[in-house]
Structure 1
Amino acid sequence: MRRFLSVALALVMSLCVSVPAFAVDSSFAAVPAEGTVMPPTRLITKVLNQTNTADTARVTAQPENGSYLRFYYRNDTEYKCTVYLLKVDGSRQTVVGAMSVAGNSQGQGIFFSVNAGSGTYKIRVENTENGGLVNGLTSLAQYHSLLDMEASSAGAVSPDLSGMPDSQLAYMDVYTVSPEAQQAILNARAKIIYGNQAWTADGNASVVNLETGEVMRVPTFEELFPGWDLPKVEATNQIDAGYPPCSSGSASDIFNCNVKPQFFHNTESWGKVVTFNGTGGKVGTFANSGPVDARYNLSVTKNGEGIGWYPQMAVREGVQFDTSTYFAYTVYASASDENSADEWYRMIVTEDFQKYGF
């Protein structure tokens, strides 16, 4: 029970985060199957028997009955299912809890929010193994406190996240799960952070098309991923610099060389182009020449912390960003796809970006 209560305290102290539909928006924890019993006091008790996906009816919690919701599912099939607790607000449905339940087993999750008692909810069960039969008993109960819950629910909170897509897993509360689950959540976040959406840490960067002169604003990391931490970068691959040798360019050029970016299946692996000390001014980086129709990615770090990600760049598209004195900046590059890899690009990193059409 002590262990259960310590996890509960972590849930209570967690910050509530509002995110788009089908992302977790508050404190949630799944309880191991071996400590699971069906809640005796119920908002919902329903046997589900459908193909692929089954929903319960909507129910409205009552404020006087508490701020803890506990949902349960007994899986009567041999197929793994994912069970969602959905908060319903008009046409909007938000996942506030999700758990994976193996075939012929059971699971339960606990959701806490200071406003949980005034919400409308339903449970959705999806056959995520083969899209086939959903058959089992589901239940939802409301409590004033964790002490109201059965002692048999006591145990370490260690959610089973297997089978949950990255788009849902990434928005789980990383602070209320086991170290193994934390890593799974962080891995899912990395795939989204280093996906197809450009971002900048502080808003002081823009993408520039050197052919047209168009300057495109890049959204900030906080706008896209509120509450997430900026990624730490451990990429150590040095990109190939090849013949002909690097050009001296001008004194304002930090890097002016032919390079051969690689395509990496790991979202956090790139080739290092150059590391330099910031001067307090703006710096521009881009591929000045390269294969026709090629696409490449740029990443920028500051003292080892990611401050910008710019995917799917065309040749003669680049990035300009602010630098601060006494900080080390590193520019990384990678091919966006296999067809763009192992080809020569002329990469330039310069303080005199206007000379190149920025």
Structure 2
Amino acid sequence: MKRFKHAISFAMAIVMIASISSAMAAEPTNELSMSPQAERNFNAISPTLRAHILADESLSSAAVYAYLDLDTAPISLRDDILKARDVIIHSEGWTVDGTGFVVQPDGTTTALPKFSDLFPGWDLPVWDTPSPSTENSSSQLGDSFGGTLVRTSRDNVSIPKFNSSVSTKSMGTFKANSSEIFQVTVRSLSTCSTCNIGASTSGGVSQGWAPRVAPGGKFYFYPDLGTYYSVRVSTYDSPGRGNFYIFH
């Protein structure tokens, strides 16, 4: 009788262990199927960015390639690495010098980190340079403020769905008439609930990126006086249109 009881107890223990193991296996993990090299690079980034990537399936998939070493990876993987980095770069807000910020419609202000702090060793994104037909010299447009700052409006701007592989068309190129402020204000949006705002030099090198800015929100960065900046907008939502002010 005792042997029978022991056999039952042992069988129940096995069942309990199996149940616990199954439950543990069903729990999501934070581990990615990375090469040792990519894993070292990934673990070296800020905990905040790491958590942001792990919380999103598409970003986690991109990270497997993005954190490979571009210099030592096989040539056949270079395009995949760069495309994966573009996906991650444009999932976070940043500016080149780390002095930019976003003001949301409720007044909440969020400082944007420095690009090289978020993505050490990575190159800044480069957009296609706007053709002359899409460039507009803002020195001849808009309302003057205090003799230097100019406000230029852009209405009914097409806002495409974001695609890191395609250069979004510039809404215009605007001269920085001050070194104190370059601001893009989202006046209104149709169809999409938020938009992404990117600024680059006229040569196409990105200077800042602000994702998911809602109507009434503002993207600020400190420009170089006299430099021309192109402004682009896109959305993670359905494509739409929007009205904007650019203070420069």
Provide TM-score, normalisation by structure 1: 0.46
Residue 95 in structure 1 maps to residue 39 in structure 2: yes
**8 Å Cα contact 1:206/1:216 also seen in 2:** yes
Higher relative contact order (CA 8 A, sep 6+): 2
| Percent of pairs with identical residues | 25
In the superposition, relative to structure 1, how do residues 183 and 258 fare at CA in structure 2: closer, same or farther (>3 Å)? same
Residue 169 in structure 1 maps to residue 73 in structure 2: no
Partner of 1:208: 103
Equivalent residues in 2 for 1:304-323 (5 A)?
Answer: 304-323=204-223
Structure 1: gaps (5+ residues): 1-81, 87-93, 98-163, 240-247, 352-358
Equivalent residues in 2 for 1:1-358 (5 A)?
Answer: 84-85=35-36, 95-96=39-40, 165-195=61-91, 197-209=92-104, 211-234=105-128, 236=130, 250-251=143-144, 252-279=150-177, 280-291=179-190, 294-302=193-201, 303-338=203-238, 341-343=239-241, 345-351=242-248
SS at match of 2:78: helix
**8 Å Cα contact 2:95/2:209 also seen in 1:** yes
Aligned residues: 184
Give the drift of 1:177.
Answer: 2.9
Quick one: which amino acid aligns to residue 225 of structure 1? Answer: F
What CA distance in whole angstroms lies between the structure 1 residues aligned with 2:166 and 2:208? 13
In the superposition, relative to structure 1, how do residues 83 and 296 fare at CA in structure 2: closer, same or farther (>3 Å)? closer
Give the drift of 1:325.
Answer: 2.5
In the superposition, relative to structure 1, how do residues 317 and 295 fare at CA in structure 2: closer, same or farther (>3 Å)? same
Give the CA RMSD over aligned residues.
2.8
Provide TM-score, normalisation by structure 2: 0.64
Structure 2: gaps (5+ residues): 1-32, 42-59, 135-140, 145-149
SS at match of 2:170: strand
Per-residue CA distance 1:53-111 (angstroms, 9 max, x = gap): xxxxxxxxxxxxxxxxxxxxxxxxxxxxx78448xxxxxxx8359xxxxxxxxxxxxxx
SS at match of 2:127: coil
What CA distance in whole angstroms lies between the structure 2 residues aligned with 1:335 and 1:293? 7
Quick one: which amino acid aligns to residue 181 of structure 2? Answer: K
**8 Å Cα contact 1:262/1:271 also seen in 2:** no
Quick one: which amino acid aligns to residue 198 of structure 1? Answer: G
What CA distance in whole angstroms lies between the structure 2 residues aligned with 1:83 and 1:350? 44
SS at match of 1:311: strand
What CA distance in whole angstroms lies between the structure 2 residues aligned with 1:324 and 1:346? 25
In the superposition, relative to structure 1, how do residues 84 and 229 fare at CA in structure 2: closer, same or farther (>3 Å)? closer
**8 Å Cα contact 2:187/2:216 also seen in 1:** yes
What CA distance in whole angstroms lies between the structure 2 residues aligned with 1:85 and 1:257? 49
The structure with the greater share of residues assigned to helix is 2
What CA distance in whole angstroms lies between the structure 2 residues aligned with 1:326 and 1:249? 16
What CA distance in whole angstroms lies between the structure 1 residues aligned with 2:70 and 2:167? 23
What CA distance in whole angstroms lies between the structure 2 residues aligned with 1:333 and 1:309? 10
In the superposition, relative to structure 1, how do residues 325 and 171 fare at CA in structure 2: closer, same or farther (>3 Å)? same
**8 Å Cα contact 2:95/2:221 also seen in 1:** no
